[in-house]
Amino acid sequence: MEEPLMTHQRASITPSAPVESPDESDMPLPQDPKVVFQGGLLVLGLLAGAFFAKEVLLPVVLAFILKLLLQPVMRWFARVHVPRVMASLFMIVLLFGLIAGFGDMLSGPAASWAKRIPEGIPRLEQRVRVVSAPLNALEHMLSHAKGMMATTPATASASPAKAPPAETATGPGAGIEATLIDGLHTFASEFLTTFLVLFFLLNSGDTFLRRLVEVMPRFRDKRQVIDISQQVEADISSYLITITVMNALVGIATGGAMWVLGLENAVLWGAIAFLLNFVPILGPLTGLVIFLGVGMLSLDPLWKAFMPMAAYAVIHLIEGETVTPILLARRFTLNPVLVIIALLFWDWMWGVPGAILAVPMLAITKIICDRIRPLAAFGHFLEGEKNALES
């Protein structure tokens, strides 16, 4: 009962002391240029290491993200007193079985469509020629006008000199086959490494968190470490579960739309839409090209060939611009410009897996920066407009 009185007494004393403004206390900016320079060098060094150590770091990061996704299930197993080794092994077998079954289910339809592509190339070329005829006419007119405006013989003689290098491209089939074999070997190696690391991460539980808490010197630091870890786990798990469910709904809706339009193997197109939606922005753009090509190869008349692409675009706009932002607005308000930059950057660094991991890694960075006082300004810089998402 005496605590409010003590609080009131402290409040009556503290106004005489200098009070910092909220902005300075919440988001302090570094004042020493050496600190900024050293921090930039550290970031560049980490990124360079991530680029050259891709084969090692990519499976580890992917396994860590999958651990966050599976952590709620592991906590449920712990509550029902299932041994952690058995629970970890069960999750690995289940996840491996789902991926293997998913791939086996789609291998047949994908192989049949791969065989149809060479036969449908003349049809695709004919349709593209019909669609692109006005553009070719315009290009011919522009090139003709450019030739008429040429005033020196040097420009006329320079243009045909660039044609012969086309003969240098010989034997692309062997290069493509070698690239595919190398890509499959790399994928299999990274896939097995990811599952191996994931098993030990699931089996370790909170061991690393406990060791980190024990290392922290002050109680405030220990509490901050626990708060950051819990927030990362809660937010990233919620994000991954929400995205997975929404992508599954997108796949179901896309497969149903393709079935209504009369395309064969609707399950295949639903699965492609499901997988592509894990890569924000770049995945749906790739999907538009794929469904345009499928419509051109399969549907008549010409106007109907555009319907698969249109249906996919409508489904993506409803999901990506309305439903998912509303569901994630309370937890994630990342700057969309920084999201696309992160997608392009990590796609260049680590390929398609990097593009899939770009948003979770950016979200983890923001959560950590928001809870470490010297990095709060950078976390605020990563934040998007909340009002725009909520409206």
d(CA 39, CA 30): 10
The answer on 283 and 378 residing in a single domain is yes
The answer on 257 and 304 residing in a single domain is yes
Q: How far is CA 180 from the centre of its chain?
A: 23
- How far are the Cα atoms of 179, 240, 317, 318 from residue 314, in angstroms, in the given order? 35, 23, 5, 6
Q: What is the pLDDT of residue 204?
A: 86
The answer on 389 and 300 residing in a single domain is yes
- How far are the Cα atoms of 39, 57, 108, 194, 306 from residue 185, in angstroms, in the given order? 37, 17, 21, 14, 36
d(CA 289, CA 241): 27
Cβ neighbours of residue 334 under 8 Å, at least 6 residues apart? 359, 362, 363, 366, 382, 383, 384
The answer on 360 and 287 residing in a single domain is yes
Please check whether residue 156 lies inside any domain of the structure: no
Q: What is the pLDDT of residue 312?
A: 92
pTM: 0.67
In tens digits, what is the pLDDT along the chain, a chain of 391 residues?
A: 444 444 343 333 334 444 444 444 456 666 677 777 887 888 889 888 888 888 888 889 999 888 888 888 888 888 898 898 999 999 999 888 888 887 777 777 777 777 766 666 666 666 565 555 554 555 555 565 556 555 444 444 444 444 444 444 444 444 545 555 566 666 677 788 888 898 998 888 888 888 888 888 888 888 888 888 888 888 788 888 888 888 999 999 999 999 988 888 888 889 989 988 888 788 888 888 888 888 887 777 777 888 989 999 999 888 877 777 777 665 667 777 888 888 889 888 888 888 888 888 888 888 888 877 777 888 888 887 654 444 4
Q: Which two tokens stand for residue 127?
A: 């349709």
The answer on 364 and 248 residing in a single domain is yes
Q: What is the pLDDT of residue 181?
A: 59
Preceding amide of 374 cis, omega within 30: no
Contacts 24+ apart (CB under 8 A), 10-16: none
Please check whether residue 281 lies inside any domain of the structure: yes
The answer on 371 and 243 residing in a single domain is yes
What is the total count of domains within the chain?
A: 2
Please check whether residue 362 lies inside any domain of the structure: yes
Cα radius of gyration rounded to whole Å, the chain: 28
Please check whether residue 100 lies inside any domain of the structure: yes
Cβ neighbours of residue 92 under 8 Å, at least 6 residues apart? 195, 198, 199, 202
Please check whether residue 150 lies inside any domain of the structure: no
Length of the chain: 391
Q: On the CB side of 376, how many CA atoms lie within 13 Å of its CA?
A: 12
Cβ neighbours of residue 110 under 8 Å, at least 6 residues apart? 268
Only one residue has tokens 């990811």, namely: 194
Question: Which of 205, 231, 259 marks a domain boundary?
Answer: 205
SS3 readout for 313-356: HHHHHHHHHHHHHHHHCCCCCECHHHHHHHHHHHHHHHCHHHHH
Q: What is the pLDDT of residue 117?
A: 66
Question: Which of 179, 205, 231 marks a domain boundary?
Answer: 205
Please check whether residue 27 lies inside any domain of the structure: no
The answer on 388 and 275 residing in a single domain is yes
The answer on 253 and 198 residing in a single domain is no
Please check whether residue 48 lies inside any domain of the structure: no
Please check whether residue 177 lies inside any domain of the structure: no
What domain range is 59 assigned to?
A: 54-119+191-205
The answer on 196 and 317 residing in a single domain is no
Q: Which two tokens stand for residue 137?
A: 């006419």
Question: Which of 205, 228, 251 marks a domain boundary?
Answer: 205
3-state secondary structure of 383: strand
The answer on 271 and 387 residing in a single domain is yes
The answer on 321 and 198 residing in a single domain is no
Only one residue has tokens 């695709």, namely: 124
The answer on 375 and 293 residing in a single domain is yes
